[in-house]
Amino acid sequence: MDPLTLYALTGLLFAVALGGAFFVFASGSGEKAQKRFSAVARPQATGRATRDQADLNQQRRKNMQVMLKELEKQQAAQKKRPSLRRRLEMAGLTITPRTYWVICGILSLVASGFALATQQTPLVASLAGFVAGLGLPRWALSFLTARREKAFTREFANAIDIIVRSVKSGLPVNEALKVVASEIPDPVGAEFRTICEGQRVGVPLDQGLKRMYERMPTSEVNFFGIVMSIQQKSGGNLSEALGNLAGVLRDRKRLEGKIKAMSSEAKASAGIIGSLPPAVMALVYTSTPDYIALLFSSKIGNLMLAGCVVWMAVGVFVMKKMISFKT
């Protein structure tokens, strides 16, 4: 081939290659090329996002299953009778079980000695010692526990509102719990202070909430622990979840107020009926003591008196069940 022709053909091919490269790079920066690139890349990105969302939903379902299993375990453990130390903590007392039993023994001895000093029969003295040594302290524990739970429930919704406002303002959860511990009165403040002190020594938040539920076994604390644990493990909008929980607690409180107002007449009637026999007995003993003294001085009278106490206790228990409503 002629060298001149070869040079011309080589220059032509070089020019074609240069024009093609210019066309590719020039059109690649245009709007049509960008659309073609987006159309090619979108299915891959969409598929990747779909897979990530599916994995996230699956992880949340697994966390929910774990939390439900833990909740079932907590409810099963709650059905068991708590120990004496736990009941003292639930009542807000700082005494030890040994001190509790010493107090029970002193009350029993005082009641029995008083019955014997008033020339009662040994059976009456034994019953008085049993009631004062075992029945009275247990009733006092139940009364203090119920009063503490009511006081806690009354302020718990306000504590959750403080946590919601703190989280919305940018504070971390630990700092929000410290704000509640310092601003809300006891027993809510005391329970949150215990959680904060536990976190300072390395106790995880979920363990602290579990111990809080053991000391304060209410449904409100149970709901709060579930929400906090799910948010800690699965993520999500904590302020919205706690805000909804605060609304639910306030609705429950309003419902309890309505039930209390509707059942007040029945409770008053039950109180009058239950107090009539002891009141009549006290009036008769005050006016004519010899007329009723046989119930305390003879064995038959003691048995009749014990039977009356049992039947009165059964009647009071039945009336209490009839006028008690759970929300």
> Would you list the domain boundaries of the chain?
15-56, 151-257, 263-327
pLDDT interval class at 31 (50, 70, 90): low
Q: Which two tokens stand for residue 287?
A: 């006016």
Residue 285 has pLDDT above 80, yes or no: yes
- pLDDT number for residue 23: 52
The DSSP 8-state label assigned to residue 237 in this structure reads -
Contacting residues for 93 by C-beta, under 8 A, at least 6 apart: 141, 144
The CA–CA distances, whole Å, from 308 to 159, 245, 272, 287 equal 47, 48, 17, 21
Report how far residue 132's alpha carbon sits from residue 284's, in angstroms, rounded to the nearest whole number: 25
Regarding predicted confidence, which is higher, 264 or 1? 264
Percent of the chain with pLDDT over 90: 4
292 pLDDT above the threshold of 70: yes
Question: How large is the greatest C-alpha to C-alpha distance in the chain, in angstroms?
Answer: 153
Q: Which residue from 233, 244, 210 is spatially nearest to 71, judged by alpha carbons?
A: 210
DSSP line for 185-204: PTTHHHHHHHHHHHHHTT--
Q: Report the distance separating Cα 114 and Cα 102, nearest Å.
A: 18
248 Cα distance to chain centroid? 13
- Listed in sequence order, the residues at least 6 apart from 308 whose beta carbon sits closer than 8 Å to its beta carbon are 277
Which band of pLDDT confidence, cut at 50, 70 and 90, is reported for residue 28? Answer: very low
Q: b vs e for 190-200, b when ≥16 Cβ sit within 10 Å of the residue's Cβ?
A: ebbbbbbebbe
Q: Tell me the three state secondary structure of residue 279.
A: helix
The rounded distance, in Å, linking the Cα atoms of 231 and 60 is 10
pTM: predicted TM-score of the whole model, two decimal places: 0.60
Amino acid sitting at position 183: E
Which of 169, 185, 187, 166 has its CA nearest to residue 177?
A: 166
The topology under which CATH files domain 151-257 is Receptor-associated Protein (1.20.81)
Is the pLDDT reported for residue 254 higher than 70? yes
CA dihedral 57, 63, 65, 66 (to 10 degrees): 170
Residue 2, phi then psi, degrees to nearest 5: -65, 135
Mean of per-residue pLDDT scores for the chain: 78
For the record, the structure tokens of 294 come out as 């046989």
Length of the chain: 327
29: helix, strand or coil: coil
